Chains A and B, each alone.
Chain A
Amino acid sequence: MADIKFTKTHEWVTKDGEVYAIGISDFAQKSLGDVVFVNLPEAGDEVSKGESFGDVESVKAVSDLMSPVSGTVTEVNEDLNDAPEKLNSDPYGAWIIRVSDVSDTEELMDEAAYKEFCSKEE
């Protein structure tokens, strides 16, 4: 996962060509606990850097999903409607949305910096 980057709000981003995939980090899924529902946007929706594009609900609480980029949603992971627990079991495999036409990107951390960041949050 060399090119994986992280936000301060615990989303991860990978880039494949011009398409960005976005998910939540292992740290995020652990602190949420059992994920039971993901409120997804639709393909074609615009997302903006630093703003919510959906939410993820665990048994305990709800948490906003913050977009690290501005752009257009090209694809959403519909599997998460029936199996939201994949965000717990495979956080880096279970992407949530894919975004293209990215015009702006938040300042992101690499894996080492994110690890450091998380150790302070604990």
Chain B
Amino acid sequence: MSEIRKTPLHETHVAEGAEMVDFGGWDMPMQYPDGIIAEHLYTRSHCSIFDVSHMGRFIIRGPERLAFLQHVLTSNVAALELNQAQYTIIPTETGGAVDDAYVYLYEDGWYLLVVNAANTKKDWDHLSAVIRDYDCTMTDITDEWSSIALQGPRSKEVLMVLTGGVQPTEPVKNALNTLTLEGHTARIAKTGYTGEPLGYEIYVKSTDAVWLWNRLIGLGAKPAGLGARDTLRLEAGFPLYGDEFGADYEGKEIPIYAVPLAKFAVSFSQQKGDYIGRAALAQQFEAYKKIQNRDFSGMDVLPKKVTPITLTGRGVMRSGMEVYRKGKLIGRVTSGTMVPYYRSEGTGLDTKILEEAGRRAIGLAYLSSDVLVDDKVEVDIRGKRVQAAIPPYHMRVDAPPFARPILYGHEEETVPAEGGPLEQRGITLLQKALDNHTWRQKKCVNLIPSENTPSDAVRLLCSLDPSGRYAEHKKIKSFYDADVFYYQGTKFIDEVEQLLVEQMKEYLGCTEVETRVTSGQMANTAVFSALMDWKNRLDRKHSPKRLGPVMNNHIIRGGHLSAQPMGALHDYIAVDPVTEKSAVVNFPVCADNPYRIDVEETKKLIEQYRPELIIFGKSMVLYREPVAEIRRFVDEQNIPATIMYDMAHVLGLVGPYFQEPFRDGADIVTGSTHKTFFGPQRGVIGVNYREEDLNYGLWETIERRAFPGSVSNHHLGTLLGLLMASYEMNAFKDDYQKAVITNAKSFARSLAKNGLDVIGDPDTGYTETHQVLLSVGYAAGPEAAERLERSNIIVNYQATPDEEGFTASGALRMGVAEMTRFGFGPGDFEKLSELMADCILHGTDVSKDVEALRAEHLEMQYCFKGEAFENELRKVFNTLNR
């Protein structure tokens, strides 16, 4: 055995009083004087640093570096984009793991491969035997670079001190970046082995390791050792080579697909060609799919799987202990100990993490593949059978910035069931509904940018007779495209719909409009469905091809849910064979302003990907979209892309004060009729195709995907209301739109003047839309929004492009449309800004002042008020009033 190795931080660890152990041939800290439990908890509540310099680091360079890695790794390395990392496995020919690893692409020209410390020599030998056949080289840089993992909810703010306020990486897992930390070059990865939603691994020159370590401690991070690293990874459910990968307790090779993470690490992409272990893995994958579908006939290939296990009886599980189900041995524990967690109280978003810690005996086990979540099992703890269960997981990380322990058997409190006769419950419902209506309509300042209050006329029309009716209709070619209705009694609504189409054509400035879709999301779904149908129209004998590449705004940069693969695009977007993900390309944004599309960079991506569909539009929207520039570019380049603008939020702002998408060259516009527009909640689709255009066929397809594709009954009550709203809009849009933009800019300025942090460029008045974004501090959005609600100010919290998800939201998103319609002017928004500053900055309850401000503006503006109109409206009201 060679001499034990030491990392550049060895002396630092010893000086800090660490208990040192031999780990994979390295003298490493097991724990510091605070102990494993304190280190674990500090990681979960603040942030810890781990010396991971002992891990093996290889650099692969040369012309055939990609082909080499594709052959020796299970993942699709070709899918890596610049500044991305991926989890991977070094497979054996028989489908087991030589090691698990991470591969990083920091710069074109070389890959970094990081492997387990204990396996470094074995991996090096294994890879060296293969690399001879490839025109590339592998260099061991383990000694030249050091690595420090900074993990925990405070890690980002700590690291940002060293970056001078620059975001360390994109706020997504596996993102990379190269930055200078106070003059020291660092390769940063948003990765880690603790499961923390916020955590980084930082590579620096070995001569900088001590500096970085001490600097991070100076900023509040605490050192943690291998002991805490193990309890943290166990709680996160991550496998450890030697326990969950490699040989099992009988000495048999653990198949890669026995480990749940495998599905992220293994690719069968054609680009990988034949690689080491591929055939065995393909066989395992077939067995894995069967097992997931609870068909256990494939268990000869995958007899066991790695699963979380939790002790419900008293004791502690340890690696090697036998697990029994109904008296029968089904496998063994692979990792187990007692792990601490912070207790919490409250439910949902109001969950409060307490300072009091609990502990639970949890583990991972290698058990018969037919074991199911919630199975009751027993663990043999030194001759005593102790009760245990199979939980789905030990921890979740989908509510950043904190990792949340999931306690087995936890039961959420539910709303108590109501009692009493149903009519009494009906009375209670009426009372509560009226209370809510009065509160929102008379006491609240409503600033949700996707909402509005329709006029009395619109609301009354929505409840008139057609509201309970059907009026299915379809154009019939035999009758020269006349609309044929299936039911009688529909002549009135036929006329209404035709008038509405004409009003909307005039408003949008386009040739055709479809108004039957009942939401903006449905409008998008109908368009995507039609685009896919149109794409496949000449070949109906094969399964239709999906759409792609599609260009859109990334959801974390304000992209609308309705234009995302997780939203309306879901069933229509292709999978990119290179990335093996949805074939979506996101608009690049300006380096100095993530709310604005970078037009020149967009053009480069359009040339590279030649998207068939470009979707403008956002739900967090401060600026006009560069429709005209991109239209000109795709025309010049002869790229046959369909340009769509999902106007959702800004449909009511179509015009000279904001943007005229069809004038700018959009082909299709969708939107919802109730955000800045005056309508009840519906959707609309407009296109600018003419009958002589080839794409007129696409328009007809869109109509068919609206009916019968999306709706059978198209909510005739609100259709009637929408016609009135479109009259109002076409009559008042000039004044209304001007007022909205003026109010938004003045609201933003006033908020800033009152000491609040308004997002956007002050030189252009922060915003060009009805929206104003306010930064209230990382992850402070939900609390601020709740506090404002208690003061009768209704906003929504919003994650900015730098934040990891809605629970980490640090912003409030507000819109001025509804209050503008109730007659708010710049002076009112000035007053509102003062109240909001008081509430947000000083915690003052301003509910009474807000109510008083609202009371001055209860009458709706920008709607018809003539005497004759009022008389007719009263008749309608009286009719409804019986």
Q: Residues on A close to B: CB < 8 A?
A: 33-34, 36-37, 39, 55, 57, 59-60, 62, 81, 85, 88
- Closest residue of A by beta carbon distance from B357: A85
Min CB distance B524 to A, Å, is: 52
Verify B338–A59 contact, CB threshold 8 A: yes
Q: A33-B31, A34-B36 are in contact. Are A59 and B231 (CB under 8 A)?
A: yes
Contact string against A for B residues 691-713, beta-carbon threshold 8 Å, 1 for contact and 0 otherwise: 00000000000000000000000
B316 A60 Cβ-Cβ under 8 A:
no
Interface residues of B in 210-229 (CB under 8 A from A): 227
Given A33-B36, A34-B35, A59 contacting B315 (CB threshold 8 A): no
Against A, the Cβ 8 Å flags (1 = close, 0 = not) of B314-351 are 11101000000000000000000111000000000000
> How many B residues have CB within 8 A of the partner chain?
19
Given A36-B316, A37-B315 in contact, is the A60-B35 Cβ separation under 8 Å? no
With a CB–CB cut-off of 8 A, which chain A residues contact B359?
Answer: 36
Interface contact A36-B315, CB-CB below 8 Å: no
Say yes or no: A57-B30 contact (C-beta < 8 A), given A33-B35, A34-B37, A37-B315: no
Per the bound structure, the CA–CA distance linking A90 and B31 in Å amounts to 20
Closest 5 CB pairs of A and B: A36-B338, A34-B37, A57-B316, A59-B36, A34-B35
Q: Do most interface residues of chain B lie in helix, strand or loop, or is the interface mixed?
A: mixed
Contact yes or no, A62 B318, CB < 8 A: yes
A residues near B316, Cβ cutoff 8 Å? 36-37, 57, 62
B113 within 8 Å of A (CB atoms): no
The reply to whether B227 and A37 contact each other, CB–CB distance below 8 Å, is no
Q: Which of A57, A60, A81, A85 meets B227, CB within 8 Å?
A: A60
Q: A33-B31, A33-B227 are in contact. Are A60 and B315 (CB under 8 A)?
A: no
Take A37-B315, A37-B316 as given contacts and tell me if A60 and B361 are in contact as well, using a CB distance cutoff of 8 Å.
Answer: no
A-contacting residues, B356-386, CB 8 Å: 359, 361, 382
- CB-CB nearest in chain B for A61: B318
B338 near A60 with CB under 8 A, answer no
Instruction: Tell me the smallest distance from the CB of A65 to a CB of chain B, in Å.
Output: 13
Complex CA gap A64/B339 in Å reads 21
User: What residues on A are CB-neighbors of B318 within 8 Å?
Assistant: 62
Task: A60 to B35: give the CA distance in the assembly, Å.
Answer: 11
State A57–B36 Cα separation when bound (angstroms).
13
Write out the residue numbers on chain A whose beta carbons fall within 8 Å of the beta carbon of B338: 36-37, 57, 59
Q: How many angstroms from the CA of A62 to the CA of B333 in the assembled complex?
A: 15
Q: Find chain B residues with CB under 8 A from A88 CB.
A: 35
CB within 8 Å of A: which of B835-859?
none
User: Can you report 27 A-B residue pairs in the complex whose CB atoms are below 8 A from each other?
Assistant: A33-B19, A33-B35, A33-B36, A33-B227, A34-B36, A34-B37, A34-B38, A36-B316, A36-B337, A36-B338, A36-B359, A37-B315, A37-B316, A37-B361, A39-B315, A55-B382, A57-B315, A57-B316, A59-B36, A59-B37, A59-B231, A59-B338, A59-B339, A60-B36, A60-B227, A60-B337, A85-B37
Q: Tell me which residues across on chain A come within 8 A of B382, comparing CB atoms.
A: 55, 62
Chain B residues closer than 8 Å to A57, beta-carbon distance: 315-316, 338
Q: How far is the CA of A88 from the CA of B38 in the complex (A)?
A: 13
How many Å from the CB of B225 to the closest CB on chain A? 10
Interface contacts beyond A37-B315, A37-B338, A60-B227: sample of 9 additional A-B pairs, CB < 8 Å, sorted by A: A33-B19, A33-B36, A34-B36, A36-B37, A36-B316, A60-B30, A60-B36, A62-B316, A62-B382
